[in-house]
């Protein structure tokens, strides 16, 4: 199983063997992998070497450790294409998952200066500000903070927003969504968000900022989302 004469370091060979076992379903999602001691016997290597392989798989998210219980196979990350202007609801449904949201804040306010500028608003114009936890199959995936100009959507309320925002825009208001500009960066989770996303305070999230426009060029939302980096990866096809 392990080739001690290979130029490939032994811990990497073990890492590959474990990955293969996960891929082949020998160790299923949520199941514990064998202990360090068992694996070191099986591969006939030191426990240190096994630990190194496991640590690498923990840091890339394939495995997770639970104190005193062992090391388990993680649920694979959701692969989110970056090439379409889709909504959270559409994205989760496309995967056969059930989307749901929890609105933890909904209010009308004077927007911060930078938000007003990005939404091309006149001075004194107001926005709806809402904070939603986005769940897939009842598990938190992201927390979204959304600013929506009141003038574009008169009479919005939290009840109307309990479902899909994009559906509301298109079906209730009869508007056409055009395009969006999106930025993505990594960050440590904010203390408040860790609570809602059920993350350790030291966890990392993917921050996505999206400004979306109607087909006539008018901005209709500015959203700052924090996605669980252990649940999500973003994919795009690039061409030359």
Q: Does 147 bind ligand 16G (CB under 6 A)?
A: no
Residues with Cβ < 8 Å from 106, sequence gap 6 or more? 128, 129, 130, 131, 157, 158, 161
Q: Does 208 bind ligand 16G (CB under 6 A)?
A: yes
Q: Does 221 bind ligand 16G (CB under 6 A)?
A: yes
Q: Does 100 bind ligand 16G (CB under 6 A)?
A: no
Minimum Å gap between C-beta 127 and ligand 16G is 14
What 3-state DSSP class applies to 145? strand
Residues with Cβ < 8 Å from 52, sequence gap 6 or more? 11
Backbone angles phi, psi at 92, to 5 degrees: -75, -40
Instruction: Encode 93-123: b = buried (16+ Cβ within 10 Å), e = exposed.
Output: eeeebebbbeeeebeeeebeeebbebbebee
Distance CA 69, CA 51 (A): 15
- Of 49, 135, 194, 225, the one binding ligand 16G by CB under 6 A: 225
- In this structure, are residues 54 and 19 in contact, taking their beta carbons and an 8 Å threshold? no
Minimum Å gap between C-beta 190 and ligand 16G is 16
Q: Does 72 bind ligand 16G (CB under 6 A)?
A: no
- Of 22, 39, 156, 165, the one binding ligand 16G by CB under 6 A: 165
Q: Does 88 bind ligand 16G (CB under 6 A)?
A: yes
Minimum Å gap between C-beta 165 and ligand 16G is 3
Minimum Å gap between C-beta 97 and ligand 16G is 12
Minimum Å gap between C-beta 223 and ligand 16G is 4
Residue count, binding to ligand 16G (CB under 6 A): 14
Distance CA 236, CA 228 (A): 18
Q: Which residues bind ligand 16G (CB under 6 A)?
A: 87-89, 144, 146, 164-167, 208, 210, 221, 223, 225
């Amino acid at each position: 199983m392990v080739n001690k004469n290979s130029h490939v370091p032994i811990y990497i060979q073990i890492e590959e063997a474990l990955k293969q076992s996960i891929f082949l379903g020998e160790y299923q999602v949520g199941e514990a992998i064998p202990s360090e001691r068992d694996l070191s016997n099986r591969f006939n290597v030191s426990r240190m070497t096994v630990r190194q392989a496991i640590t690498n798989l923990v840091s890339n998210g394939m495995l997770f450790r639970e104190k005193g219980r062992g090391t388990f196979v993680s649920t694979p990350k959701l692969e989110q294409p970056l090439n379409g202007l889709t909504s959270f609801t559409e994205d989760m449904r496309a995967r056969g998952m059930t989307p749901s949201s929890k609105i933890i804040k909904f209010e009308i306010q004077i927007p911060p200066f930078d938000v007003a500028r990005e939404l091309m608003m006149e001075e004194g114009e107001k926005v709806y500000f809402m904070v939603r936890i986005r769940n897939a199959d009842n598990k938190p995936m992201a927390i979204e903070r959304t600013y929506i100009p009141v003038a574009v959507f008169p009479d919005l309320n939290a009840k109307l927003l309990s479902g899909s925002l994009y559906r509301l825009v298109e079906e209730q208001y009869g508007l056409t969504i055009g395009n969006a500009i999106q930025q993505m960066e990594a960050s440590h989770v904010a203390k408040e968000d860790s609570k809602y996303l059920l993350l350790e305070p030291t966890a990392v999230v993917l921050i996505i900022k999206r400004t979306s426009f109607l087909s006539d060029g008018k901005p209709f939302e500015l959203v700052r989302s924090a996605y669980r980096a252990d649940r999500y990866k973003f994919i795009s096809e690039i061409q030359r």
